[in-house]
Structure 1
Amino acid sequence: MTRKLYALSGADRTRPFSPHVWKTKLALAHKGLEFEVAPVGFTEIPSLEQGTTKIVPLLRDGETLVSDSFNIALYLEEAYPERPTLFGGEGGTAAARFVEGWSQMTLHPAIGRIAIMDIHDRLEPADQAYFRQSREERFGKTLEAVAEAGQADLESFSAKLEPLRHMLKFQPFLGGVGPLFADYIVFGALQWARIVSRHRLLAAGDVVSDWFERCLDLHEGLGRSVRAA
């Protein structure tokens, strides 16, 4: 069976950067499932698989198409129950939903503002035009003004990690002694920043930095397969 993962990339198609795609890449590796990555730009997404999705990641697993990183993880858990669990049961699934909400409401907006010009500059010209128009409509200001405001996010970013920092005092992963999908959710956000941005968000010696390094090493160093910006 051929699995294909459509992954958002910039002009350099060897550097998929979407946080949601990285969640899914690690989830597939966690399950021990082989897959190929099909890099796409923003403006190519509406034409994927006869227009089946407006977002990536999109996974084709044989005849099955699944979009949205959390939905893909749920699908993998149900379709491959004999392989290592991504959630560790119903409680783990609920906890992962909480982690996803925290990550997307706290980390993603800050990273998006910090890295907005870095993202723009790494795109193909057609995607740059799309990205500028869509983001300036979303924010109600120019990308340059968003990036200027992102300086405050950069200064306060470490404090946003305090809940994660507290938990990692007691265990090496959010999942406990080993990683679960909750780890991949937060890893995806920080991997996004690592790949696209010149800014360094994690300080050496921080327990979060140590955790992130452990995540980079998972699954034969999958996270390190794309070098930092």
Structure 2
Amino acid sequence: MCYRARAVSAVASRENIRLYELVLENGISASPYVWRTRFALAHKGLAFQSVPLGFTEIAAAFSGELRTVPVIEDGEERVGDSWHIADYLERSYPARPALFSGCAEYAMVRLFDAWFSAEILRRMFRSYVLDIHNAARPADRLYFRTSREARLQGTSLEACVADRVSRLPELRDALNPLRAQLERGPFLGGASPNYADYLALGAFRWVASVSTIPPLAQGDPLLAWLERGFDLYGGLARDARLKPLAQ
């Protein structure tokens, strides 16, 4: 496949993978990017050991070399960034189910990710950033507030979410391309899920971990897809602590 042009030779299956992930005060795994990797590992049929970290523990865990999660350790290999991890899993475990059917699908999912990040994740972040702060470990909250308010160019978390109820229709409308695609099949990937499903499901799993106001309306056709997605791999994304995604 063309995107593997720079890949190293495949390694033997070790299956002692450690996944470093972000957790909230209640212990729930809450990062849209970590959830992409959780789904990817499950898709590949690879077991892993979870290593939970708070926001302020990430840099120290990797001696400052990596500052975000997900990160996986597979034997002597350490890989950060959800896309780098997906590439690593594809080239290291070629006998396992493929995350991408070929170069064309890989390129299209990359394009979908760019659109989704700009149009959906951005809106989700601005609607739920205060909820994330309030759900974080107490020791992480000052760091989270300082770093995210800097990202918001000095806007306070409270000011950022002040008009979020009036902005919900904008988020819901932005999701129309997903609804259109799901008219053609049960998953964004068609008859079965692919990495596009995983990155979108991961975003909703993140919101469900923290939200104090659901992003969707009752009866939204996305809800059936979310039910199917959260049920994948033995209910991988299910957790009794999750908040409702519709009202």
| Match in the other structure for 2:11 | none
Quick one: which of 212, 217, 223 aligns to 1:203?
Answer: 217
Quick one: which of 1, 10, 17 aligns to 2:24?
Answer: 10
145-154 vs 205-214, which deviates more? 145-154
Q: Gaps (5+ residues) in structure 1?
A: none
| Match in the other structure for 2:203 | 189
Scaled by the length of structure 2, the TM-score of the pair is 0.88
Does residue 121 of the first structure (1) align with residue 163 of the second (2)? no
- Map 1:145-224 onto structure 2 (within 5 A): 145-224=159-238
Give the root-mean-square deviation of aligned CA atoms: 1.3
Instruction: Check conservation: 1:195, 1:226, Cα contact below 8 A.
Output: no
Number of positions where the alignment pairs a residue of Structure 1 with one of Structure 2: 228
78-87 vs 18-27, which deviates more? 78-87
Cα distance, 1:206 vs. partner? 2.4
Instruction: Check conservation: 1:117, 1:147, Cα contact below 8 A.
Output: yes
| Match in the other structure for 1:63 | 76
28-37 vs 76-85, which deviates more? 76-85
Identity %: 43
C-alpha distance in 2 between matches for 1:211 and 1:78: 29
Cα distance, 1:80 vs. partner? 0.9
* SS class of match (2:131): helix
C-alpha distance in 2 between matches for 1:49 and 1:210: 39
Instruction: Check conservation: 1:27, 1:184, Cα contact below 8 A.
Output: yes
Does residue 228 of the first structure (1) align with residue 231 of the second (2)? no
Instruction: Please list the CA deviations of residues 102-154 of structure 1 after superposition, one character each: whole Å capped at 9, or x if unmatched.
Output: 12111111111111111111112231000111111111211110011433332
Quick one: which of 38, 48, 57 aligns to 2:51?
Answer: 38
* SS class of match (1:223): coil
Go from structure 1 to structure 2 and tell me whether the alpha carbon gap of 1:226 and 1:60 turns closer, same or farther (over 3 Å shift). farther
Cα distance, 1:50 vs. partner? 2.9
* SS class of match (2:85): helix
- Write 1 or 2 for the structure with the bigger share of helix: 1
Instruction: Check conservation: 1:216, 1:224, Cα contact below 8 A.
Output: yes
Q: Which has the larger radius of gyration?
A: 2
C-alpha distance in 2 between matches for 1:195 and 1:124: 13
Cα distance, 1:88 vs. partner? 1.0
Q: Gaps (5+ residues) in structure 2?
A: 1-13
Quick one: which of 62, 82, 98 aligns to 1:49?
Answer: 62
| Match in the other structure for 1:90 | 103
Scaled by the length of structure 1, the TM-score of the pair is 0.95
Instruction: Please list the CA deviations of residues 57-76 of structure 1 after superposition, one character each: whole Å capped at 9, or x if unmatched.
Output: 00111111111111111111
199-208 vs 67-76, which deviates more? 199-208
C-alpha distance in 1 between matches for 2:119 and 2:213: 18
C-alpha distance in 2 between matches for 1:227 and 1:122: 12
C-alpha distance in 2 between matches for 1:26 and 1:144: 32
Instruction: Check conservation: 1:110, 1:150, Cα contact below 8 A.
Output: no
Instruction: Please list the CA deviations of residues 152-178 of structure 1 after superposition, one character each: whole Å capped at 9, or x if unmatched.
Output: 332322101101111111111111110
170-179 vs 196-205, which deviates more? 196-205
Cα distance, 1:226 vs. partner? 5.6
Amino acid at match of 1:90: C
| Match in the other structure for 2:94 | 81
